[in-house]
Amino acid sequence: MQLFITGATGFIGSWLVRYFAAGGRSPTASGRGDPPQSLLDLAGYLRADICRPMATVGADVVIHAAALASDTATAPALKAVNIHGTRHVFEATRDCKIFLYISSSSVYDNRNTAHVEDEPVDYRRLSPYGLSKRLAEEWLLQQDWRRRTLVILRPRAVYGPGDRVLLPRLLRLRRRGQIIIPGDLRVQSALTYVGNLCQAVAACLVYFEKHPGGAHCFNVSDAEPYEMRDVVGNLLSAVYGDQMPFREIPVLPLSVAARVLEWLHIPAPFTRFGLAAATQNNVMNIEKINQTIGFQPEKNLWEVLTDIGAWANAAGLPAVQAGAAGLPWNKVTGSFFIPPLNRS
């Protein structure tokens, strides 16, 4: 099975390349920029900007992980990458038997506390990012999948060594020996270890190679939800090596401030959508992927905290806090455990 992986210079894409290379596959990776040598040691590379039409790609499977994942990006920028980019990748890989799209839990509108794949969604409640991912999904679902297979995976808050989104946000909560949080963060939330996501991708490919055809959508997360207060406290302790007190800021004035800054088009460190996602219960029901293909997550946050803390310090805390572009292929990332390829 010949694999083509987009977004290979990003967090999820880099893990997918390592994962399949470790399993004996030789994927072709794709990204916008010049690839690091550590990527070239594992995969072929196709430099391509998915915002533009692409040349035809010959592969059996495409794993589309490239995306603009941002709460603050403009709607046109999100549309160019997440909607038009997905269409361009689809057009370039029409001969691929399986098209696997890494979507996001942001396609849900947070009216429900435990999300299932077929729940109704009010598009007016979606963030610009969530709307762009939802519209990309819908465009894909409108295509003809009678002779090919579409798989959409919706992970929530993907974390692990190489993370440029979640961990940097959490590190920025530390101020003068305190952890500044919105509300008390005693809410239940799903998270997705990146190794579990890789295993879910592999399990889907194995299953749908044997059962081809049609369009399929699955939630993906760790087996159990977490209390976000525990997550923040333990992650920052693993990174900084000490326990820090919490300082709680009321959510309402933060939400009002976010709305005002948004209305004035002033960049802010948080958005009203981000606040809502962080301060409400947000759990993923993963029964469908378990019952359909037998996937069960193997790891949880508590088992990989030490790895994340060690990686963050080796990579350099200022670089991690800034979400530096090179983090996913930083040389220290490859020293961490890559879960085995599921061949069942």
pTM given for the model: 0.94
Tokens of residue 145, six digits: 């999948």
Give the mean pLDDT of 191-208: 96
Give the mean pLDDT of 25-52: 93
Q: Is 153:200 a contact under the CB 8 Å cutoff?
A: yes
- Rounded Cα distance between 109 and 129, Å, is 12
Q: Looking at residue 33, what is its pLDDT?
A: 86
pLDDT digits (tens, 9 = 90+) for 145-157: 999 999 999 999 9
Q: Yes or no: is domain 3-330 CATH 1.10.287.990?
A: no
Q: Which residue do the tokens 């998270």 mark?
A: 191
Q: Looking at residue 199, what is its pLDDT?
A: 95
Q: Is the pLDDT of residue 269 over 70?
A: no
Q: Looking at residue 24, what is its pLDDT?
A: 84
Domain boundaries in the chain? Answer: 3-330
Best CA proximity match to 51, nearest among 17, 6, 114? 6
Q: Is the pLDDT of residue 336 over 70?
A: no
The helix (run of H) or strand (run of E) holding residue 300 is none
Calculate the alpha carbon distances from 31 to 36, 39, 121, 255, 319 in Å. 11, 11, 32, 36, 21
Q: Is the pLDDT of residue 343 over 60?
A: no
- Rounded Cα distance between 48 and 30, Å, is 6
Q: Looking at residue 245, what is its pLDDT?
A: 96
Q: Is the pLDDT of residue 200 over 90?
A: yes
Give the mean pLDDT of 91-98: 96
Q: Is the pLDDT of residue 264 over 90?
A: no
- Which pLDDT band, with edges at 50, 70 and 90, does 251 fall under? confident
- Which pLDDT band, with edges at 50, 70 and 90, does 53 fall under? very high
